[in-house]
Amino acid sequence: MNNTARTKLHAKALVYAKILNSNSIHQEATPYRLLC
């Protein structure tokens, strides 16, 4: 996987984690944190 794809994936994971955290679903947000 090249750096650009990794960066995009990382950014996506952070966005999803932020959305889930704002919805107070901490159990769902944890896997995204581990992926980053």
Mean pLDDT computed over 10-23: 79
DSSP letter string, 5-31: HHHHHHHHHHHHHHHHHHTT-HHHHHH
Gap between the Cα atoms of 1 and 14, Å rounded: 19
- The answer on pLDDT for 3 being more than 70 is yes
Query: From CA 22, how far away is CA 4, in angstroms rounded?
Result: 27
Which structure tokens are listed for 17? 């984690």
Any idea where the domains of the chain sit in the sequence?
3-35
Residue 20 contacts residue 35 (beta carbons within 8 Å): no
| Residue 1: pLDDT band with limits 50, 70, 90 | low
pLDDT at position 28 is 58
| pLDDT digit string, tens, across residues 24-36 | 555 555 666 666 5
How sure is the predictor about 19, in pLDDT bands with cuts at 50, 70 and 90? confident
